Amino acid sequence: MIPVNPRIATLAPYGLSVPVPPGNFGLDQNESLFPPSPKALAAGQEALARSHIYPDNDWRNLTKAIAGRFALNAANILVGCGSMQLIACLMETLARPGEHVLSTRYAYAYAETTARQFGLDFIRVAEPDFTVDVDRILAAVTPQTRIVFLCNPGNPTGTRIAVAEILRLHDALPADVLLCVDEAYGELSGQSSAPLFKRLSRGNLCILRSFSKAYALAGARVGWGAFPTDLAGEMRKVLSPSNVSVVSQAMALAAFEDQEYLANLVQTTSLLRKNFQRELTTLGLLTPPSHTNFALVQFGDEAKATSALNALRSGGIYPRPMGLYNIPDTLRITIGPEAVMTRCLEILSAEVAK
């Protein structure tokens, strides 16, 4: 083989979930199991006919709509092929040899993958009870810390911390440490992040959002982030030009403008999740309180979790095993339509009775 960058050669590939056989339910990637807004589908159809033209490199229609809703300037907003692309872009832009990303025990694995791609160490502090602990983060800040990365609500935990806690963390961080808050499940969190968006001008805070979860557009690959103006400018040098397709930009804009549909999906999903978690508890299974479209289910030991995984797969349901996060006694289960969740509970009930 041709010699490659040794830093890349030593990396492990990012562990996506196994392919779900056709006809089965994939409850493994926290996709919406409900379809996108009909308005987004119509906008995508219409945009398809403009596919011979490059997309707007500045995502102007979309950033204008987002800026309007969150009281931001369009210059603060970057749009990526999913927020994953923006996470990678952020790491690349900030990485300098010897520096660290400080994060939490269960923070999104892809952030660690990208940090290491660009030579940054990724340090994780404990999350007692599967919940981010601001004091533990602050205690671990060193002169090498360049980014503090946290997910709120968390994935794979589903738990959230109050926005006031994030403000406290931000206030206590040195000005040359960037706080990056990944809010991929922000629309489902039940709390407003407006106080965070108001602080962009301080220069060391960014917020990431996604169209993949609550907006039901995982396949379109669109995410956005709010960044301080200077940092956004530097990241633009790294982000590949014309990254988000004509069709995806149109779909994201129409979905964003259909807040009524979003509110319905959020309400339906939250209700299904509450019922699912209540039933899990009735079965005697522990599940941290979730503010997302999934639940982390604790089985007590790895053998029980594996047995449940196999039983669910035999029943046509594919949850996500959690070996990647080193919690092999748990499964992460995306919230789907009621009939699927009922089937899931039947299988888990039989497992618990074993």
Ligand X SMILES: *Cc1c(COP(=O)(O)O)cnc(C)c1O
Residue 81 and residue 184: Cα distance in Å, rounded? 13
Minimum distance, C-beta of residue 213 to ligand X, in the bound complex (Å)? 6
Instruction: Measure CA of the first residue to CA of the last residue in the chain; give whole Å.
Output: 51
Q: 111: which 2 tokens?
A: 């952030």
Name the minimum Å distance from CB 20 to ligand X.
Answer: 16
Nearer Cβ to ligand X (169/207): 207
Comparing CB distances to ligand X, the nearer of 218 and 311 is 218
Contact footprint for ligand X (CB under 6 A): 30, 82-84, 108, 151, 155, 182, 184, 210, 212-213, 218, 223
Which lies closer to ligand X via its Cβ, residue 165 or residue 279? 165
In the bound state with ligand X, the residue whose beta carbon lies nearer, of 78 and 84, is: 84
Q: Position 122: which residue type?
A: F
Least distance between ligand X and beta carbon 346 (Å): 27
- Report, in Å, the least distance between residue 349 CB and ligand X: 28
For residue 76, what is the DSSP state?
A: G
Indicate the burial class of 352 (C-beta count within 10 angstroms; 0-12, 13-18, 19 or more).
middle
Residue 64: both structure tokens together: 């204008």
Nearest distance, CB of residue 211 and ligand X, angstroms: 6
Residue 106 CB partners (closer than 8 Å, separation 6+): 127, 130, 154, 155, 156, 157, 325, 327
Select 76 or 155, whichever has its Cβ closest to ligand X. 155
Q: Cα(233)–Cα(227) distance, rounded to whole angstroms? A: 9
For residues 244, 239, 208, 259, the Cα torsion angle rounded to the nearest 10 degrees is -20
- The Cα–Cα gap between 301 and 298 comes to 8
Query: Looking at beta carbons only, is 92 or 182 nearer to ligand X?
Result: 182
Q: Residue 26 or 82: which CB sits closer to ligand X? A: 82
> Which candidate, 285, 280, 288, 277, places its Cα nearest to that of 106?
288
Least Cβ distance, residue 209 to ligand X (angstroms): 8
For the bound state, the minimum distance from the C-beta of residue 3 to ligand X, rounded and expressed in Å, comes to: 31
Nearer to ligand X, 34 or 307 (CB): 34
Q: How near is the Cβ of 103 to ligand X at its closest, in Å?
A: 11
Provide CB contacts within 8 A for 195, sequence distance 6+. Answer: 163, 164, 167
Q: Residue 333, by phi and psi: left (phi above 0), alpha (psi -120 to 50) or beta?
A: beta
Q: In the complex, which residue's CB is closest to ligand X?
A: 82
